[in-house]
């Protein structure tokens, strides 16, 4: 019995002594940090996505406290969170320019020709190194899902071999843009609803050989809504710097012959094979 008591007492004593030592050293080697930085970190959403350009939320908090960056630079924070931070620090909230990412390609497995079957690592960079990938079009989305895996917010869904970004989940952090080896994903203003879902600069006959929904550069969209569209060679694209941006009415007025000019909603529904939408567009 004695032994038991002694053993317990010794363990407790050792634990206590070590605890005191650790406490002393914690005080001694304490790193002074600005309490405001911790406050800002608490108020931030804490996704550590790097969308602000800094190396994580605490890095961003330090930049905000030191005045180098405005709180609105965090693309993930809602406007309430941004004003909360601004209020807490007594500074200006700053301009909020919200961006979202969009995959400018409509070539899923049904619409484009896959010239060969692919045997290799299911990753977009790796696949693009093998003869430009199995798809007939060497400018479009490869469909291996690297962007979907990298997205910290789970906003990208792979449907039928095509990456689709769900607008409501995307915060514009830009991770997917960096990953894509084809540069098919672009950051556009958050309000943009209409896009030309084609990334290929080739001539129309070459494009049509491999893809049913490629943009053939017929310019009908530019005619229906001048100033809102740019024509680059054989491809039309939305002029995102122009206000106002194209709307659903512009899409109807343009009557795009191939179906590469769509609203984001239409694009999503077509890919999901919603019968109400597919029948109209095909």
Partner 1 sequence: MSEEISPEIKLPTGEKLILSTSPHIRDTDSVRHIMYKVLLALVPACIAGVYFFGWRSALVMLATMAFCVGAEALWCRLAKKPVMGTIADGSAAVTGLLLALNLPPQVPFYVCLIGAFLAIWLGKQVFGGIGCNPFNPALVARVGLLIALPAIMTTWQPARGMNADTEDASLWFSPKTIQELKDGKPLDSVSCATPLGVVGTTKKIADNSFEAESNFETVSHPDQMMPYFLGRKGGCIGETSVLALLIGGVILMLFRLINWRVPVVYIGTVAVFAGLVNYFFPGVTPPPLFHIVTGGLVLGAVFMATDMVTSPITPTGCIVFAVGCGVITTVIRIWGNYPEGVSFSILFMNALVPLIDRFCTPRPFGYTTKRR
Partner 2 sequence: MKSNSKDYLSFDGGIHPASDGKSLSEGSPVQRPPLLDRYRVVISESVGKPPKPVVQPGDLVKKYQLIAQAEGFVSANLHSPTSGKVVGIVEVAGAMGIPVPAIEIESDGKDEPCEPMPPLDWKTASAADLLARIGEAGVVGMGGAAFPTRVKLSPPPEKQIDTLILNGAECEPYLTADHRLMLEKPRAVLEGAAISAKILGVKNIYIGVEVNKTDAIEALNKHAADYNIYVVGLKVQYPQGSEKQLIDAVTKREVPTGGLPMDAHCVVQNVGTAAAVSDAVTLGIPLVERITTVTGDVVKNPGNWLLKLGTPVIKAVEFAGGVTEEPGKLILGGPMMGFAQKTFDVTVCKNTSGILLLPQSDSIAYDPSPCIRCGRCVAGCPMGLLPCLLGSVIEAERFDLAAENHVMDCLECGSCAYVCPAHRPLVQHMRRAKAEIRKQSKK
Q: Which residues are at the interface with partner 2 (CB under 8 A)? A: 115-116, 119-121, 123, 125-126, 129-134, 138, 181, 202, 206
Residues 70 and 85: their CA atoms lie apart, in Å, by 10
Q: Interface with partner 1 by CB under 8 A: which residues?
A: 115-120, 126, 129-131, 133-134
Partner from partner 1, partner 2, none contacting 123, C-beta within 5 to 8 A by type: partner 2
Tokens representing 178 are 């960096």
User: What DSSP character marks residue 226?
Assistant: T
Q: Which is nearer to partner 1, 107 or 134 (CB)?
A: 134
Q: Do 225 and 254 contact (CB within 8 A), yes or no? A: yes
Taking the complex as a whole, the smallest distance from the CB of residue 140 to partner 1 amounts, in Å, to: 16
Q: Do 77 and 44 contact (CB within 8 A), yes or no? A: yes
Residues 115 and 132: their CA atoms lie apart, in Å, by 11
Q: Which residue has the tokens 């995959």?
A: 103
Q: Which is nearer to partner 2, 118 or 240 (CB)?
A: 118
- The total of other beta-carbon atoms located within 10 Å of residue 89's CB is 16
Taking the complex as a whole, the smallest distance from the CB of residue 161 to partner 1 amounts, in Å, to: 15
Q: Which is nearer to partner 1, 8 or 130 (CB)?
A: 130
50: left (phi over 0), alpha (psi -120 to 50) or beta: left
Taking the complex as a whole, the smallest distance from the CB of residue 130 to partner 1 amounts, in Å, to: 5
Handedness of CA 137, 143, 146, 147 (dihedral sign): positive
Q: Which is nearer to partner 1, 55 or 131 (CB)?
A: 131
Taking the complex as a whole, the smallest distance from the CB of residue 144 to partner 1 amounts, in Å, to: 13
Q: Which is nearer to partner 2, 162 or 202 (CB)?
A: 202
Partner from partner 2, partner 1, none contacting 202, C-beta within 5 to 8 A by type: partner 2
């Amino acid at each position: 019995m004695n032994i038991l008591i002694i053993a317990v007492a010794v363990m407790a004593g050792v634990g206590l002594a070590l605890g005191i030592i650790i406490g002393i050293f914690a005080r001694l080697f304490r790193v002074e940090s600005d309490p405001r930085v911790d406050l800002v970190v608490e108020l931030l959403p804490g996704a550590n996505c790097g969308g602000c350009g800094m190396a994580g939320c605490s890095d961003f908090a330090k930049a905000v406290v030191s005045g180098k960056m405005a709180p609105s630079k965090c693309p993930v924070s809602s406007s309430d969170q941004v004003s909360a931070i601004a209020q807490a620090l007594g500074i200006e909230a700053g301009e909020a320019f919200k961006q979202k990412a969009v995959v400018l390609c409509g070539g899923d497995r049904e619409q484009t020709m896959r010239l060969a079957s692919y045997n290799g690592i299911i990753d977009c960079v790796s696949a693009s190194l093998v003869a430009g990938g199995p798809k007939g079009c060497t400018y479009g989305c490869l469909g291996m899902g690297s962007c979907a895996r990298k997205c910290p917010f789970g906003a990208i869904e792979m449907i039928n071999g095509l990456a689709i970004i769900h607008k409501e989940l995307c915060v514009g952090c830009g991770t997917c843009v960096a990953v894509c080896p084809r540069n098919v994903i672009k950051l556009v203003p958050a309000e943009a609803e209409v896009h030309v879902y084609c990334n290929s600069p080739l001539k129309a006959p070459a494009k049509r050989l491999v893809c049913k929904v490629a943009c053939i550069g017929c310019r009908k969209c530019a005619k229906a809504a001048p100033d809102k569209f740019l024509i680059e060679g054989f491809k039309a694209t939305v002029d995102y710097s122009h206000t106002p941006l194209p709307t659903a009415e512009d899409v109807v007025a343009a009557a795009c012959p191939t179906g590469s000019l769509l609203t984001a909603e239409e694009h999503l529904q077509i890919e999901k094979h919603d019968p109400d939408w597919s029948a109209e567009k095909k």
